[in-house]
Structure 1
Amino acid sequence: MAELKLRFQSHNLPLAHTFTIAHGSRTQTPISFVQLQWGTDVGYGEAAMPPYLGESAQTAESFYSSLDFSWVTEPSDLERVLSYVQSHSLGNSSAKAAIDIALHDLHAKRLGIPVYQLFGLNPAEAPQSSYTIGIQPLDKVHTLLPNTDPFGLIKVKLGGDHDRQMIDLIRDYTDKPISVDVNQGWMKKERALEEIYWLKERGVVYVEQPMPKESIMDMEWLSQHSPLPTIADEAAQRLTDLFELKNCYHGVNIKLMKCSGIREGYLMAKLAKSLGLKVMIGCMTESSCGIAAAAQLASLADWVDLDGHFLLANDPFEGLSFNEGVVQLSQLNGLGVFPKHLTWDDQQWQ
């Protein structure tokens, strides 16, 4: 009888450029990859772990090592298997997402369909993705702007000491719409509102996480007065968060690494819409494996920000393409991606 077997490996993947947001800079990103095997079929998953999530390769590997799938008699029982993964321990959202993604990849491959068909979705309805420019020295911004040419929307990280100059430089280069992500960088609601009015005049279309996630009352006031939609990012991680945020923001940025995977990401998108919230499907700095997983849900979104694999110096997965600003899934079953230069021979199954 077949068994559901797991193995994993972790890496610090170098970034193509130093990536800076309001609270720090990185030149690499920690990522864990997992394989789930049933018989001859294999599913792939990914956990991308930015510092603010409080996860690391060590916590992810400890979580994986503690899992016991010996009781699983049918991996297509996604609800039962994922309920076990969710209840096994608190936290570990990214590590749980890796298992969720691999299980969906495995299940869809066994059925001979892409993952999005499990949810009745059509990737042809996905919006264009944005391309992200982190906080940069002004003389560096010029060198990064050509990277935005294939994209329909430019996302700019704010919260530095030259925000307006960055926007002006980008606006001098192109008249494409811009979105901004402040990563909780504005402390005062009055200053935030002043900045948002200035940004609106320069063609910005929405503002992500302008204030600290704990500033609930200030965010409610800001969203009531803002001329642009405000989008919760750090403030919105799991499904139940949406009920608390529906009066504080106009929309929510759903990331699989925050919400523990495809299953809850789908539920969050449906619930957000029912609550009158705009939906954004976003990502961390991830390989094509994680981006492909999020792209399965992209047709549910009003906005898409799935550029994490473009920010890596060397993407270890392949299978995605990019056309007219839209992340294109392959015609392969499952996630539609496969490892490019990962070797698994040294990793033991458990």
Structure 2
Amino acid sequence: KKVDLSGFSDPTHLEEILLYVDAIAPANTAAKASVDIALHDLAGKIIGAPWHRMYGLNKTNVPDTTFTIGIDSDEVVREKTREALGRFNILKIKVGGPDDKRMIEAIRSVTDLPLAVDANQGWKERSEALDMIFWMRERGVVMVEQPMPKSDLDSIARLTEESPLPIFADESVQRLADVERLKGVFSGINIKLMKCTGMHEAWKMRTLAQALGMKVMMGCMTETSCAISAASQIYPGMDFADLDGALLIGNDCFDGAKLENGKMIASDLPGIGVLPIFTLPVPQRGG
């Protein structure tokens, strides 16, 4: 309700408009992302092209998206793994606790697909993290997200230097201002639209990280196909992706990017490439 765009004459002036939106209030990054995504969709429709074309990206040149297997009993883990077979080419495992090895061994009893792991800051000691990473590499793990507490950058930098696997920042990176200080600390960054205020800043983060020689990953929260489709416009040419958010919900209200052979493929519709599955109510100002 604080957003008033009546002072802007052209919705394609994204830099100017989103600078204003970002200044309205601190934080609230997901709310700002919703405005950003809506503006990108509108601008794309006015121009008549999907954003992946305007970015100059090949929408099929994308990494496989991971599919997340949550921490659970061995039986449930095996069942969830079997359900993913044939649809996904890489799985993502939540680790960082006492069940790490058990979880991976349970998955390995079902499949030899490559694995990505997200420790969610769970390993507190660098030596512990390094031992786990070497153990995991022998079992087909190919990348590690946020192995240690987000503020312990010195330990993470040493871990990255010694690690046989790439180490990606998640909680340690929120927005564009965080990227440059993480060079030499992490191998790469995980960009999420809901954390960085949307597509406009995500594109800047991607461009800066790659210019600094860092790897880039497109991530997500639990989101509808609206946000996943927006992310799918940006992620061609990235190194990793975790865009399964809309596949984990039962009430998706949009139709957009599609899972094809383990990859999220953007639509060619103008804008972010989504259509509502059903008519959404129009919010009333002040209601």
TM-score scaled by length of structure 1 = 0.79
**Structure 2 residue 213 is matched with structure 1 residue 293:** no
* Matches of 2:179 and 2:218, distance apart in 1: 15
Residue-by-residue CA offset, 1:280-337 (whole Å, 9 max, x unaligned): 1111111100000100011131111110011112211113322111112223211111
Residue-by-residue CA offset, 1:220-265 (whole Å, 9 max, x unaligned): 1111111111100010111111111111111110111111110111
1:70 is displaced (CA, Å) by 1.6
Assess if the C-alpha contact under 8 Å between 2:97 and 2:123 holds in 1: no
Aligned residues: 285
1:342 is displaced (CA, Å) by 5.1
What amino acid maps onto 1:239 in structure 2? L
1:117 is displaced (CA, Å) by 2.0
**Structure 2 residue 14 is matched with structure 1 residue 78:** yes
What amino acid maps onto 1:330 in structure 2? S
* Matches of 1:104 and 1:309, distance apart in 2: 20
Residue-by-residue CA offset, 1:95-118 (whole Å, 9 max, x unaligned): 111111110000001111112222
- Counterpart of 1:101 in structure 2 is 37
2:68 aligns to what SS in structure 1?
strand
- Counterpart of 1:170 in structure 2 is 107
What amino acid maps onto 1:301 in structure 2? M
Kindly report structure 1 stretches of 4+ aligned residues shifted beyond 4 Å.
Answer: none
* Matches of 2:10 and 2:285, distance apart in 1: 18
**Structure 2 residue 88 is matched with structure 1 residue 151:** yes
Query: Root-mean-square deviation (CA), in Å?
Result: 1.3
Assess if the C-alpha contact under 8 Å between 2:119 and 2:144 holds in 1: yes
Structure richer in strand, relative to its length: 1
Instruction: Give the gaps of 5 or more residues in structure 2.
Output: none
What amino acid maps onto 1:117 in structure 2? R
Instruction: Give the gaps of 5 or more residues in structure 1.
Output: 1-64
* Matches of 1:256 and 1:300, distance apart in 2: 17
* Matches of 1:317 and 1:231, distance apart in 2: 30
1:74 is displaced (CA, Å) by 1.2
Q: How does 1:272-283 map to 2 (within 5 A)?
A: 272-283=209-220
1:76 aligns to what SS in structure 2?
coil
Assess if the C-alpha contact under 8 Å between 1:126 and 1:326 holds in 2: yes
* Matches of 2:213 and 2:95, distance apart in 1: 27
- Counterpart of 1:322 in structure 2 is 259
Residue-by-residue CA offset, 1:61-89 (whole Å, 9 max, x unaligned): xxxx1111121211111111111111222
1:349 is displaced (CA, Å) by 4.8
TM-score scaled by length of structure 2 = 0.96
* Matches of 2:139 and 2:26, distance apart in 1: 43
Assess if the C-alpha contact under 8 Å between 1:279 and 1:300 holds in 2: no
- Counterpart of 1:233 in structure 2 is 170
Q: How does 1:41-120 map to 2 (within 5 A)?
A: 65-120=1-56
| Identity score, percent | 45
Assess if the C-alpha contact under 8 Å between 1:155 and 1:179 holds in 2: yes
